[in-house]
């Protein structure tokens, strides 16, 4: 089945201010394996991550609001259809976006804006791995990972690679304060 989720990493805004802006409340209850609908956690370098099963949170008006006077990286993952997206917003404006639609050809990738320099390296690695995989009969979609890897390079977070240790505390359950916002 796989993951179907969104996550948002904010930097340059205090955790409590970001949670208020996003209309979440931290319950303090540990959610080490993202078993609840919403979870949040602090990362090194001042990033705070909200992870959610609520795909509707990923809309431009919301990202504009959440990124005001801050930096925001947003990611959507739907492993069932092999769709992935990463985007960065700063001060209410979208800087870049990278998405992969798994229903298209294996190397399909839509890009917009001014991408971080590491994008070309990640794309080259994934494209080479994709070509090798297809030469061996296929079955693995490496291009799907490009948006996820790009967001991870920037924030240090990837939903499926987080091993909590002394540097990163386990995430905690978040509750939505309002249905819309």
The ranges assigned to domains in the chain are 4-176
Cα–Cα distance measured from residue 7 to residue 137, given in angstroms and rounded to the nearest whole number:
33
What is the mean pLDDT of the segment spanning 153-172?
78
Query: What is the structure's pLDDT at 47?
Result: 95
Is the pTM for the entire model greater than 0.85?
Answer: yes
Query: What is the structure's pLDDT at 133?
Result: 80
Contact 49/40 with Cβ under 8 angstroms? yes
Query: What is the structure's pLDDT at 181?
Result: 46
Select from 118, 116, 114, 119 the least CA-distant residue to 100: 119
User: Cβ contacts of residue 78 below 8 Å, gap of 6+?
Assistant: 2, 3, 4, 55, 84
- If one counts every other C-beta atom within 10 angstroms of the C-beta of residue 66, the result is 22
Q: How confident is the model at residue 134 (pLDDT cuts 50, 70, 90)?
A: confident
Higher-pLDDT residue of 181 and 88 is 88
User: Which tens digit of pLDDT belongs to each residue from 23-79?
Assistant: 999 999 999 878 899 999 999 889 999 999 999 999 999 999 999 999 999 999 998
Report the half-sphere exposure of 130 (CA within 13 A, side-chain side): 17
User: Which tens digit of pLDDT belongs to each residue from 81-129?
Assistant: 889 999 999 999 999 999 999 887 667 899 999 999 999 999 999 988 8
Query: What is the structure's pLDDT at 140?
Result: 80
Residue 113 in 3-state DSSP? strand
Distance of CA 75 to the CA centre of its chain: 3
- 145-155 helix and 118-135 helix, angle to the nearest 10 degrees: 150
Query: What is the structure's pLDDT at 78?
Result: 92
Please count the residues of the chain. Answer: 181
What is the mean pLDDT of the segment spanning 2-26?
94
| Whole-Å CA distances, 135 to 20, 90, 94, 129, 131 | 50, 40, 37, 10, 6
Cα–Cα distance measured from residue 145 to residue 134, given in angstroms and rounded to the nearest whole number:
16
pLDDT of 165 over the 70 cut: no
User: Cβ contacts of residue 77 below 8 Å, gap of 6+?
Assistant: 3, 4, 5, 6, 83, 84, 148, 159
């Amino acid at each position: 089945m796989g993951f179907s989720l969104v996550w948002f990493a904010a930097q340059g805004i205090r955790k409590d201010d970001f949670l208020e802006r996003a209309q979440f409340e931290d319950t303090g209850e540990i959610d080490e394996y993202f078993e609840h609908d919403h979870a949040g956690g602090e990362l090194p370098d001042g990033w705070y991550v909200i992870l959610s099963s609520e795909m509707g949170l990923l809309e431009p008006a919301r990202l504009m609001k959440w990124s005001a006077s801050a930096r925001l990286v947003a990611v959507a993952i739907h492993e069932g259809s092999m769709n992935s997206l990463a985007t960065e917003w700063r001060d209410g404006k979208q800087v870049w976006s990278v998405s992969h639609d798994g229903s298209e050809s294996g190397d399909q990738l839509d890009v917009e804006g001014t991408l971080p320099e590491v994008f070309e390296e990640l794309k080259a690695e994934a494209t080479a791995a994709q070509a090798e995989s297809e030469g061996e009969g296929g079955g693995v979609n490496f291009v799907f990972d490009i948006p996820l890897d790009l967001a991870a390079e920037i924030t240090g977070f990837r939903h499926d690679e987080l091993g909590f240790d002394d540097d990163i505390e386990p995430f905690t359950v978040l509750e939505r304060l309002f249905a819309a916002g």
